[in-house]
Structure 1
Amino acid sequence: MQNESKTYQFEVCANGVESCLAAQEGGANRVELCAGIPEGGTTPSYGEIKVARRLLTSTRLHVIIRPRGGDFLYTPLEVERMEEDIRMCRELGVDGVVIGCLKADGSLDLEANRRLKDAAGDMSVTFHRAFDRCADPMLALEQLCQLGIDRILTSGQQPTAQQGISLLRRLNATADGRITILAGCGVNEGNIKQIQEQTGVHEFHFSARMPVKSRMQYANPDVYMGDKDVDESTLMYTSAERVRATIAQLK
């Protein structure tokens, strides 16, 4: 299913400016800048976006628009906040935003998604992995095409893109160039070639993160800033070497 006439695009899920810079160094085409990675990604701060915009010179900057973790069923106030975050991104010169709103029955919230798409103006718009919570992915695909969304980030409704190869293949064939299928979740240097060859997808989303030990010399062992089972002495950053190694698998 490989089609060499298309150009591959590589997007790195970046959890901060440092990871954005590593993605750029490693040759990524764009980043999806997120805060709250343990929650699946939430909207980063104004300062994070502004500094990333200043420092990214060859890699495009996309920003996730998600006010909280949890489900994708949003209140009117949450949709209003997302519209304001999108306007902020436009003012800062961001290249694209990443959105996704669902109804309680697992269908797309067409009104909310249309409002966010309209707020984005001429910025690129990706529908994120809320798609993997849709009750009818093929119907959702058609509706997102009609909304004018540029791409869908999906793992094929499975825990990882490698496990979701079957649906990714079907989605990519059905999309037929009308919308881009962006394969993501668990994509790495060990499986990206298999995913590409078995799905025909030409855009990939991965984090390429590596653990980095905290530079703190002292830590109070009785106090946790979050879940006590999380290792707060280890930080995760995107590695330029891993980005480069993953991209190299499709060269």
Structure 2
Amino acid sequence: MKPLLLKEACLENFTDLPAACLNGAARIELCDNLAVGGTTPSKGVIAEAAKYCHDKNILLIVLIRPRKGNYVYTDTEIKIMEADIFEAQALGADGISFGALTPDNDLDLEAMNQLGAAAGGMQLILHMAFDEMDFAQQKKAIDWAAEQGYERILTHGGPLSQSNTATVSHLKELIAYAAGRVSILPGGGITAENCDKIAKELGVSQVHGSKIVSLKSTQK
């Protein structure tokens, strides 16, 4: 029997969560402000989403990002992110999605280690800050994430301005290099309409997107 494709729905706030779960989302990445690429959701939203997801046996991943813009953070911003990670864990999140870079787009290992340590056993996911790196930097990041026990790296395979067709070749390179040591999670432009085709072409068993399942509910 063909295994089901795991669909991770990226949701802004709580509003669409019931419909996403009803329509096949097996994992949720919760954020706010999708118009700017996502920021950390509020404590209240995380708490209610965690209750709802756990009642449905669905994992909840919380985006940790203090602002829009680049991924080069000040010491104060790292402290804010650390505090948000502690809160996410206390509120019942199963994992955190985050990333911090140096000005030349390498992983900021000091910041990543500090934030990872705050996770207290939650799943660790390196988010699309990864796409700011060149291939050599990405390979080092894959090696590091695998050594640190990260579950996944979320990537479009290139700038979000590029189509899925344009980035599929690089995604294949990343998947081949990771070689199962850490999962490469394709995202960005992947929808309920094209996810099966993309997953088959890449040979992956999970995909991510804000339109990965229908957000229309038949329930009143």
Output the TM-score relative to the length of structure 2: 0.89
Runs of 4+ in 1 over 6 A off after TM superposition: none
Q: Which runs of 5+ in 1 are unaligned?
A: 211-237, 242-251
Other-structure match for 1:132? 131
Task: Tell me whether 1:22 sits opposite 2:23 in the alignment.
Answer: no
Q: Per the alignment, do residues 97 and 18 of structure 1 end up closer, same or farther by CA in structure 2, a change over 3 Å counting? A: same
Q: Deviation per CA, 1:50-97: give whole Å up to 9, x if none.
A: 111122222211110000000000011111111110000111111111
Q: Give distance in 2, aligned partners of 1:162 and 1:128.
A: 21
Aligned residues: 211
Task: Tell me whether 1:55 sits opposite 2:76 in the alignment.
Answer: no
What one-letter code is carried by the residue in structure 1 that aligns with 2:25?
A
Q: Give distance in 2, aligned partners of 1:162 and 1:148.
A: 30
Q: Give distance in 2, aligned partners of 1:124 and 1:240.
A: 29
Task: Tell me whether 1:151 sits opposite 2:152 in the alignment.
Answer: yes
Task: Tell me whether 1:33 sits opposite 2:30 in the alignment.
Answer: yes
Percent of pairs with identical residues? 37
Specify the SS of the correspondent of 2:153: strand
Q: Which runs of 5+ in 2 are unaligned?
A: none
Other-structure match for 2:173? 170
Give the structure with higher Rg (CA).
Answer: 1
Specify the SS of the correspondent of 1:18: coil
Report if the CA contact (8 A) 2:8-2:212 is conserved. no
Output the TM-score relative to the length of structure 1: 0.79
Q: CA deviation at 1:143?
A: 1.9
What one-letter code is carried by the residue in structure 1 that aligns with 2:97?
V
Q: Per the alignment, do residues 47 and 111 of structure 1 end up closer, same or farther by CA in structure 2, a change over 3 Å counting? A: same
Report if the CA contact (8 A) 2:39-2:67 is conserved. yes
Q: Give distance in 2, aligned partners of 1:91 and 1:42.
A: 19
Measured on the aligned residues, the alpha-carbon RMSD in Å equals 2.0
Q: CA deviation at 1:170?
A: 1.3
Q: Give distance in 2, aligned partners of 1:202 and 1:133.
A: 24
